[in-house]
Structure 1
Amino acid sequence: MKQIIIAKLKLHTESAQFAALRKTQLAYRDALNYVSRYSFEHGKMSNQRALQRDCYDEIRLKFGLPAQMACNVPRQVGATYKGLWTKTKQNAALRSAGLTKKRYKGLDQAPTYVSPTLTYNYHRDYSLKSNNQVSILTLDGRVIVSYTGYDKHVALIQHGAEIGAAKLWYDKPHKQFYLLISLELERADPTPESHSHVVGVDVGQRYLAVTATPNNEAAFYCGKAVRAKADHYARLRKRLQKKGTRSATRRSVILSGRERRLKQDANHLISRRIIDQHPHSIIGLEDLTHIRERTKRRKGQKASKKQRKANRHASKWAFAELHGYIAYKATMAGSMAVKVDAHYSSQACPMCGYTDPSNRPNKGLLFVCQSCHYTLHADLVGARNVTMRTLLTRQDWMSTGTLLVSPDVSCDEAKALRQQRYSELRWSTDTSPRRRGVG
Structure 2
Amino acid sequence: MKTVITAKLKLQTTPAQFAALRATQLAYRDSLNYVSHYAFAHDKMSNKVKLQEGTYDVLRSRFHLPSQMACSVPRQVGATYKALWSKVKQNATHRKANHTKKRYKGLDQPPKYVSPTLDYQYGKDYSFKKDQHVSVLTLHGRIILAYSGYERHVALLQHGAEIGAAKLWYDKARKTFYLLVPLHINVPDPMAQTLTGIVGVDVGIRYLAVTSDTKGACSFYSGKGIVPKATHYARLRKRLQKKGTRSATRRLVAISGRERRLKQDANHRVSAHIVKTSPHSLLGLEHLTDIRERRRRKRGKKASRKQRKANAASCKWSFAELQSMIAYKALLQGSMAIKVDAHYTSKACPLCGHTADANRPNNGLLFVCQNCHYTLHADLVGARNIMMRTLLARQDWASTGSLSMSPDVSSAEIKAARLSRYAELRWNLDTSSLPSGGSN
With normalisation by structure 2, the TM-score equals 0.96
Match of 2:151 in 1: 151
Deviation per CA, 1:274-314: give whole Å up to 9, x if none. Answer: 00100111000011122112223222233222222111111
Cα distance in 1 for residues equivalent to 2:437 and 2:97: 45
User: Structure 2 vs 1, CA of residues 41 and 294 (structure 1 numbering), >3 Å: closer, same or farther?
Assistant: closer
State the SS of the aligned residue for 1:293: helix
Q: Does the alignment pair 1:308 with 2:308?
A: yes
CA distance in 2, matches of 1:294, 1:169: 36
Q: Indicate the residue corresponding to 2:385 in structure 1.
A: 385
Q: How far 1:160 sits from its partner (Å)?
A: 2.5
Q: Which residue identity is paired with 1:55?
A: T
1:210 maps to 210
Residue pairs, 1:5-404, within 5 angstroms:
5-252=5-252, 254-255=254-255, 257-404=257-404
Asked if the contact 1:46/1:78 (under 8 Å) is kept, the reply is yes
Cα deviation 1:194-239 (Å, max 9, x = unaligned): 1111100011121111000010000000111111112222332343
Q: Aligned equivalents of 2:253 and 2:181: distance in 1?
A: 27
Q: Show CA shifts across 1:130-185 (max 9, x none).
A: 11000111111111100000111001000121112111111112111011111111
* Cα offset, 1:127, TM superposition: 0.9
Distance 2:360 2:96 in 1: 33
How big is the alpha-carbon RMSD for the aligned residues of Structure 1 and Structure 2? 1.5
Deviations 1:402-434, CA, capped at 9 Å, x for gaps: 111111232111111111111111112312278
Change (3 A) 1:254 1:284: farther
Is 1:419–2:419 an aligned residue pair?
yes
**Greater alpha carbon shift after TM alignment, 9-18 vs 284-293:** 284-293
Write the distance in 1 (CA, Å) between the matches of 2:131 and 2:349: 60
Give the residue type in structure 2 aligned to 1:117. Answer: T
Q: Match for residue 438 of structure 1? A: 439
Q: Deviations over 1:359-392 (max 9, x none)?
A: 1111111111111111111111110000000000
Q: Matched residue of 2:169: which SS? A: strand
Distance 2:250 2:72 in 1: 31
Cα 1:220–1:61 shift into 2, 3 Å? same
**Residue identity matched to 1:251:** R
Measured after TM superposition, the shift of residue 242 of structure 1 is 4.1
Task: Assess if the C-alpha contact under 8 Å between 1:9 and 1:180 holds in 2.
Answer: yes
Partner amino acid for 1:240?
L
Which letter does structure 1 place at the counterpart of 2:182? S
Q: Distance in 2 between matches of 1:99 and 1:420?
A: 24
Question: Could you tell me the TM-score, scaled by structure 1's length?
Answer: 0.97
Give the CA deviation at 1:102.
2.4
Distance 2:380 2:304 in 1: 28
**What amino acid sits opposite 1:188 in the alignment?**
P
SS in 1 for 2:180: strand
The code of the aligned residue for 1:28 comes to Y
Distance 1:256 1:315 in 2: 19
Retained in 1: the 8 A contact 2:99–2:295?
no
Q: Is the 8 A contact 1:212 1:219 kept in 2?
A: yes
Distance 1:104 1:341 in 2: 26
Asked if the contact 1:32–1:113 (Cα under 8 Å) also holds between the matched residues in 2, the reply is: yes
Q: Is the 8 A contact 2:287 2:342 kept in 1?
A: yes
User: Percent of aligned pairs with the same residue?
Assistant: 66
TM-superposed CA distance for 1:126, in Å, is 1.0
Contact 1:95/1:102 (CA < 8 Å) preserved in 2? yes
Whether the 8 Å CA contact 1:216–1:432 is kept in 2: the answer is no
Higher mean displacement: 224-233 or 292-301: 292-301
Aligned-partner SS, 1:9: strand
Of 82-91 and 312-321, more deviation after overlay is shown by 82-91
Would the alpha carbon gap of residues 55 and 409 (structure 1) be closer, same or farther in structure 2, given more than 3 Å must change?
Answer: closer
Quote the Cα distance in structure 1 between the aligned partners of 2:119 and 2:234: 33
Cα deviations across residues 9-32 of structure 1 (Å, max 9, x unaligned)? 000001111111111111111111
In 2, are the aligned partners of 1:161 and 1:185 still within 8 Å (CA)? yes
Question: What are the Cα deviations for residues 42-96 of structure 1, in whole angstroms up to 9, with x where unaligned?
Answer: 2111110011112112211111111111110110111111111122222233334
Amino acid paired to 2:425: L
Corresponding residue SS for 1:63: coil
CA contact (8 A) 2:32 2:73 kept: yes
Q: Rate the CA distance shift 1:4–1:238 in 2: closer, same or farther, 3 A.
A: closer
Q: Which moved more, 1:333-342 or 1:107-116?
A: 107-116
How far apart in 2 are the matches of 1:96 and 1:164? Answer: 40
| Aligned equivalents of 2:154, 2:201: Cα separation in 1 | 32
> Structure 1 regions of 5+ residues with no counterpart?
none
* Cα distance change on mapping 1:16 and 1:40 into 2, 3 Å: same
Partner amino acid, structure 2, of 1:438: S
Unaligned runs of 5+ in 2: none
SS at match of 1:323: helix
Give the counterpart letter for 2:306 in structure 1.
Answer: K
Which secondary structure state, in structure 2, belongs to the residue aligned with residue 122 of structure 1? coil
Deviations 1:226-283 (A, max 9, x none): 1111222233234324433232234235445211111111111100000010011100
